[in-house]
């Protein structure tokens, strides 16, 4: 047994070293903004920890600015002088750069993994999404200091400010509901800029992996990109969006309500993993990147809104069934794979992994993450020609690990390009939904699991039906992507997943356990309480299956695999059916641990300490 755990520790060490080496080899463009005069582009090269400055006319990089940590987002002050760059770390910062000199003018401390910065029109307020703290920093941009934190729903990832400055809209990446609920959906949070009061706008059932958000130039509409999962259906096929569809939701900015959701797919071809979204200056076109299919969608915005208005004017009797919004006989917009016909142009990009996008005039500039390039696309179909590319560095040579990361995020592995591995496992983690996979029969849905440490913690799947993660990867290609691929593809995905490293918990204090977590650690390791019996360090699993009383009416078994608790703070909801949204709820209502230890002897304060420790792993 001792040799086995030594081996597992060695695996974790190799993972961390491999991930660090990977980040040094590539540029990884992820976000882009335009200078005030439209002559330059500022590109956040995530893997290189730098901002690249691109001369638009010449199409070349003229300089770079080193960042202290991975740059996740950037925004330019209204006067065009200051570039604000969010840099990801447990104690994140906003770097304030004078674009005239390229020099740092200051740094503002914010939260864990800041991203999605937005600045108001007079340049006085900056808003930053602290992804893993689950809140938004309100910053005095003039004084360069944080004024407040506003809690939102879950993993805020993008923000945009209404033109009048009164409302900040924030995209929450994942749903926060129990996965066995009838309605599970990610949300957009509207923050009152004066009072910091919030309104939660739910997206349609099945919405997850919200990546992009922007506001129309007239301030009337908010556009959000996300996946729209059909998780209630058994995963027996992918045709016609049976499992995952890819969507753009439209919100009413003034009313702070959802208007409708349109599918970016077509009847026989998916448009996987919509990511960045922006509009042209006058708002006539909406531009969306598709990270899974290496495409750009160019949508006629006035025509889209006119068609949505026609649908909205239909009588209730003609409208489709919706568990939350009424009943009828028609086809819902969010189920109509033909709705954008004639309103949208799909443009194939030359690069791979499009993410952030910016527009200058009639040109879109797209960050192509895996090829270290910017795609240049003419938005006017009449002017369209071959899609150009701007190199941000030497052409990258993909290591097997990098290639595996690219394949994991590519819908080319899927029949008709409906989804990628990342569709259900964003960032290699989980989408917060229950899926009825055919791995272990139909009619017994289970919560999607994080892929972190899947390889050194066999078996795979909640029911342990795959003996190893390697077997699960190959089964996923066959039974979930519905294709056959060369063995080299699966092997590369294995290497990528083994290189994924844990993110430090936001519940730690300066990287250390809090006093409450230290008390919880002692309880965790107390033989009478019994937590460490099944969740044995260093990976906090003994690799066995147990009956912990979690069987539901849909299950065909009593025992389930013991998962690792590392990064447990990130993997809610909990248990194989995603029934509990918090660890405290799992212990107090679910009585998890009571069958194997003295959970009933713990006081409320001790349970809080125990939760604090587990959330710190």
Task: Give the pLDDT confidence of 517-529 residue by residue, as tens digits.
Answer: 999 999 999 999 9
Local confidence band at 14 (pLDDT 50, 70, 90 cut-offs) = very low
Cα 221 from Cα 256, distance rounded (Å): 9
pTM: predicted TM-score of the whole model, two decimal places: 0.93
The pLDDT, as a whole number, for residue 518 is 98
**Which one has a higher pLDDT value, 6 or 307?**
307
The pLDDT, as a whole number, for residue 315 is 43
Answer yes or no: is pLDDT of 24 > 70: no
Domains within the chain, CATH numbers bracketed: 154-348 (2.130.10.10), 402-499 (1.10.760.10), 515-614 (1.10.760.10)
Answer yes or no: is pLDDT of 281 > 90: yes
Backbone angles phi, psi at 319, to 5 degrees: -85, 155
Cα 215 from Cα 165, distance rounded (Å): 12
Local confidence band at 8 (pLDDT 50, 70, 90 cut-offs) = very low
**Which one has a higher pLDDT value, 439 or 31?**
31
Task: Give the pLDDT confidence of 449-489 residue by residue, as tens digits.
Answer: 999 999 999 999 999 999 999 999 999 999 999 999 999 99
H helices, E strands: number in the chain: 10, 32
Question: Residue 546 corresponds to which tokens in the numbers above?
Answer: 């147990």
Answer yes or no: is pLDDT of 45 > 50: yes
Q: Are 292 and 272 in contact (CB under 8 A)?
A: yes
Answer yes or no: is pLDDT of 175 > 70: yes
Q: For residue 373, count other CB atoms closer than 10 A to its CB.
A: 26
Q: Are 41 and 54 in contact (CB under 8 A)?
A: yes
Nearest to 128 by CA among 100, 105, 102, 147: 147
Q: Which helix (H) or strand (E) holds 191?
A: strand 187-192
**Contact partners, residue 139, CB within 8 Å, separation at least 6:** 94, 108, 110, 125, 126, 127, 128, 145, 146, 147
| % of the chain beyond a pLDDT of 70 | 94
Task: Give the pLDDT confidence of 555-575 residue by residue, as tens digits.
Answer: 889 999 999 999 999 999 999
**Contact partners, residue 406, CB within 8 Å, separation at least 6:** 352, 353, 370, 398
Answer yes or no: is pLDDT of 326 > 80: no
Q: Are 526 and 589 in contact (CB under 8 A)?
A: no
Answer yes or no: is pLDDT of 446 > 90: yes
Give CA separation, 328 vs 229, 233, 315, 324, in Å: 22, 21, 9, 12
3-state secondary structure 250-277: EEECCCCEEEEEEECCECCECCCCEEEE
The pLDDT, as a whole number, for residue 263 is 98
The pLDDT, as a whole number, for residue 152 is 98
Note the maximum CA span of the chain: 74
Local confidence band at 13 (pLDDT 50, 70, 90 cut-offs) = very low
The pLDDT, as a whole number, for residue 2 is 35
Task: Give the pLDDT confidence of 357-415 residue by residue, as tens digits.
Answer: 999 999 999 999 999 999 999 999 877 777 899 999 999 999 999 999 999 999 999 99
User: What is the DSSP secondary-structure string of 552-610?
Assistant: -TT-S-S-EE----TTGGGS-SBTTTT-BSSHHHHHHTS-TTTTTS-GGG--HHHHHHH
Lowest mean pLDDT among 18-27, 207-216, 232-241, 404-413: 18-27
Place of tokens 């879109």: 364
| % of the chain beyond a pLDDT of 90 | 88
Rg (CA), the chain: 24
How confident is the prediction for the chain on average, in pLDDT?
92
Lowest mean pLDDT among 72-81, 410-419, 433-442: 433-442
User: What is the DSSP secondary-structure string of 76-98?
Assistant: E-TTS-EEEEEEESTT-EEEEEE
**Contact partners, residue 65, CB within 8 Å, separation at least 6:** 50, 51, 53, 97, 102
Q: Burial level of 89, CB count in 10 A (0-12/13-18/19+)?
A: middle
The pLDDT, as a whole number, for residue 331 is 78
Local confidence band at 321 (pLDDT 50, 70, 90 cut-offs) = very low
**Which one has a higher pLDDT value, 601 or 16?**
601
Local confidence band at 580 (pLDDT 50, 70, 90 cut-offs) = very high
Q: For residue 401, count other CB atoms closer than 10 A to its CB.
A: 22
Answer yes or no: is pLDDT of 19 > 60: no
Task: Give the pLDDT confidence of 83-123 residue by residue, as tens digits.
Answer: 999 999 999 999 999 999 999 999 999 999 999 999 999 99
Cα 324 from Cα 184, distance rounded (Å): 12
Answer yes or no: is pLDDT of 241 > 60: yes
The pLDDT, as a whole number, for residue 330 is 61
């Amino acid at each position: 047994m001792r040799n086995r755990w030594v081996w597992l520790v060695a695996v974790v060490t190799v993972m961390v070293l491999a991930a660090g080496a990977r980040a040094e080899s590539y540029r990884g463009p992820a976000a882009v903004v335009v200078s005030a005069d439209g002559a330059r582009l500022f590109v956040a090269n995530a893997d290189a920890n730098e901002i690249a400055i691109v001369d638009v006319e010449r199409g070349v990089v003229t300089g770079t600015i080193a960042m202290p940590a991975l740059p996740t987002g950037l925004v330019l002050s209204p006067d065009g002088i200051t570039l604000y760059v969010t840099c990801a770390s447990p104690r994140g910062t906003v770097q304030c750069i004078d674009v005239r000199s390229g020099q740092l003018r200051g740094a503002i401390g914010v939260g864990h993994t800041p991203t999605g910065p937005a600045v108001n029109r007079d340049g006085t307020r900056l808003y930053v999404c602290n992804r893993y703290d689950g809140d938004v920093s309100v910053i005095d941009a003039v004084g360069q200091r944080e004024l407040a934190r506003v809690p939102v729903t879950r993993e805020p990832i993008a923000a945009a400010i209404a033109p009048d400055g009164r409302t900040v809209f924030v995209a929450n990446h994942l749903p926060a509901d129990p996965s066995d609920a009838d309605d599970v959906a990610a949300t957009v949070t509207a923050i009152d800029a004066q009072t910091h009061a919030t309104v939660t706008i739910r997206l349609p059932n099945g919405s997850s992996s919200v990546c992009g958000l922007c506001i129309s130039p007239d301030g009337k509409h908010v556009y959000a990109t996300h996946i729209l999962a059909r998780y209630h259906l058994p995963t027996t096929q992918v045709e016609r969006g049976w499992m995952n569809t890819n969507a753009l939701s439209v919100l009413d900015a003034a009313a702070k309500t959802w208007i409708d959701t349109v599918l970016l797919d077509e009847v026989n071809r998916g448009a996987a993993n919509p990511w960045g979204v922006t509009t042209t200056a006058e708002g006539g076109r909406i531009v969306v990147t598709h990270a899974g299919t290496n495409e750009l969608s160019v949508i006629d915005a006035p025509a889209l809104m006119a068609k949505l208005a026609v649908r909205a004017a239909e009588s209730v009797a003609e409208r489709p069934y919706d568990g939350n919004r009424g009943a009828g006989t028609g086809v819902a917009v969010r189920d109509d794979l033909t709705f954008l016909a004639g309103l949208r142009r799909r443009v194939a990009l030359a690069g791979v992994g499009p993410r952030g996008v910016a527009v200058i005039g009639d040109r879109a500039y797209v960050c192509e993450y895996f090829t270290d390039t910017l795609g240049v696309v003419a938005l006017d179909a009449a002017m369209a020609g071959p899609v150009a590319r701007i190199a941000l560095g030497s052409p990258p040579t993909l290591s097997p690990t990098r290639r595996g990361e690219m394949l994991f995020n590519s819908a080319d592995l899927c029949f008709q390009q409906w989804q990628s591995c990342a569709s259900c496992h964003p960032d290699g983690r989980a989408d917060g939904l229950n899926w009825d996979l055919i791995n272990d029969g139909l009619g017994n849905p289970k919560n999607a699991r994080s892929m972190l440490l899947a390889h050194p913690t066999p078996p795979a799947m909640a029911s342990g039906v795959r003996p190893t993660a390697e077997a699960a990867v190959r089964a996923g290609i066959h039974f979930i992507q519905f294709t056959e691929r060369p063995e080299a593809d699966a092997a590369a995905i294995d290497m990528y997943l083994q290189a994924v490293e844990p993110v430090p918990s936001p519940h730690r204090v300066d990287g250390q356990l809090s006093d409450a977590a230290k008390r919880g650690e002692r309880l965790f390791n107390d033989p009478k309480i019994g937590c460490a019996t099944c969740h044995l360090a260093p990976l906090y699993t003994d690799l066995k299956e147990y009956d912990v009383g979690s069987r539901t009416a849909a299950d065909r078994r009593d025992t389930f695999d013991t998962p690792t608790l590392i990064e447990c703070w990130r993997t809610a909801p909990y248990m194989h059916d995603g029934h509990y949204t918090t660890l405290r709820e799992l212990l107090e209502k679910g009585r998890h641990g009571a069958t194997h230890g003295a959970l009933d002897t713990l006081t409320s304060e001790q349970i809080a300490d125990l939760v604090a420790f587990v959330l710190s792993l």
